[in-house]
Structure 1
C-alpha cells in the first residue's frame, strides 16, 4: 500500500520568492541559481513552489489576488493611496529578503481588484544611476526607473504573464545612440537587446 502523501505546509514568503525566481530563470539562470542558493532552496523546491502557486491562482476556490498576497506575505509594510488618471487606487508593498532595496508592490483599484503586481524600488533606497546602455545590467533597475531614465519609453507587451517590455533610445559610453528593447519580469530588468 503506497504511503499517504504528506500535505504541503503553508505557502511562505520564501516560497513566493522562489516563484518570482522561477519566472526569471529563463533569462538569467546564473543570477537565479545564486539567489536560490541564498534562500537555501533546491531546484526541486523552486519548481514545487511554482507549481503550488499556479494551483492556488487557478483553483476554482481561489481567494482574490490581494487576499492571496496577504495570506502569503502577511501584513503589508505600507498601503498608500495612488491616483491613476481619474481613478483612486492603492499601492500595497511588502519587503522581500532577496531584494532588500526593492518592494513587491500590488496596485489595487476599486473593490481591491489587483491591477498590477511587480517589484519597485523601496521608498528609502537610492535608485541606480542609469545614463548609458551599459548601465542596464540584469536586475539593476525596475521598469519605472528605466522608463524615467530613458524617456520617452514606449511600453511593449510581454511574452508571458508578469513580463513587460520597454522600447527606448539610449546612448552607449561612446555616445552612439541605439534603439533598445528592455525586457522585465515582475518589474525587474532581465535583459536588453539593440533593436535593428
Structure 2
C-alpha cells in the first residue's frame, strides 16, 4: 500500500482501514489479520482513521452520501427500503475484505442519512444462527441477529458506529440465556452477559 499524504485521495482501501480501526478495541487479532491481508501498517490504519475523522468533522465537509460516493465510487445498487411509514433509499457498496457483505447507507426522502453500516449482500446466504455458540465475532450483522433471536431489544451504542441488541438465546446445552450483542459498523464484535456474576 502506498504511503498516504494529506493531499492523496482517500480510497476504498483507506475506508476499509477505517472500519477495522473501530473494530480493533474488541477484536485486535481479527483486525491484525485483516490489516495484513490488506497490506497496510498500523500507522497507515491510524492515518486513514485520522483523515476520515477530519473529513467528517470539517466545516467544509460534503454530505455523507457525497462523501461515500467520492471515496467508494458509484453504489453497486440503489434500492427502495421501507422504514416504518417512510420509504427511503438504500445505497450499497461492496467491501472486498468481506465479500458477502455490503456497506449500506440509508437516505431519507429529504436527503438526510439515517444509517451507515454493514449488511449481508443481497442474495448471499447468511449464517445459521441457532444458539450462542454461533455468535462468534464478525459472524453476523445486526439485522441477522435480531431476526434469529427475536424479540431483540435495541440498546444505545457505546460510541458512534456502535450498536447493541439485548435478547435471549439458547446456550450450547439448549438453556435460554440473556445476553447483549455488541456491533461495530453493523458487524458482531462480542457478547456480554448481564446475569453473569
Task: Report the TM-score, using the length of structure 1 for normalisation.
Answer: 0.96
Residues 57-91 of structure 1: per-residue CA shift (max 9 Å, x gap): 00000000000000000000000011111112000
For residues 129 and 87 of structure 1, the distance between their equivalents in structure 2, rounded to whole angstroms, comes to 30
2:101 aligns with 102
1:147 aligns with 146
Deviation at 1:111, TM superposition (A): 2.7
Q: Does 1:75 align with 2:74?
A: yes
Secondary structure at 1:195's aligned position in 2? Answer: coil
Q: Does 1:25 align with 2:4?
A: no
- Runs of 4 or more above 4 Å deviation: none
Deviation at 1:194, TM superposition (A): 1.7
Counterpart mapping for 1:45-194 below 5 A: 45-194=44-193
For residues 9 and 68 of structure 1, the distance between their equivalents in structure 2, rounded to whole angstroms, comes to 15
CA gap of 1:54–1:61, structure 2 versus 1, over 3 A, is same
Instruction: Indicate if the aligned counterparts of 2:95 and 2:102 stay in contact, CA closer than 8 A.
Output: yes
For residues 169 and 7 of structure 1, the distance between their equivalents in structure 2, rounded to whole angstroms, comes to 47
44-53 or 83-92, larger mean C-alpha shift: 83-92
CA gap of 1:69–1:20, structure 2 versus 1, over 3 A, is same
For residues 182 and 95 of structure 1, the distance between their equivalents in structure 2, rounded to whole angstroms, comes to 25
Structure 1: segments with no counterpart, 5+ residues: 1-5
Structure 2: segments with no counterpart, 5+ residues: none
The alignment of Structure 1 onto Structure 2 pairs a total of residues equal to: 191
Deviation at 1:8, TM superposition (A): 3.0
Secondary structure at 2:29's aligned position in 1? Answer: helix
Secondary structure at 2:66's aligned position in 1? Answer: helix
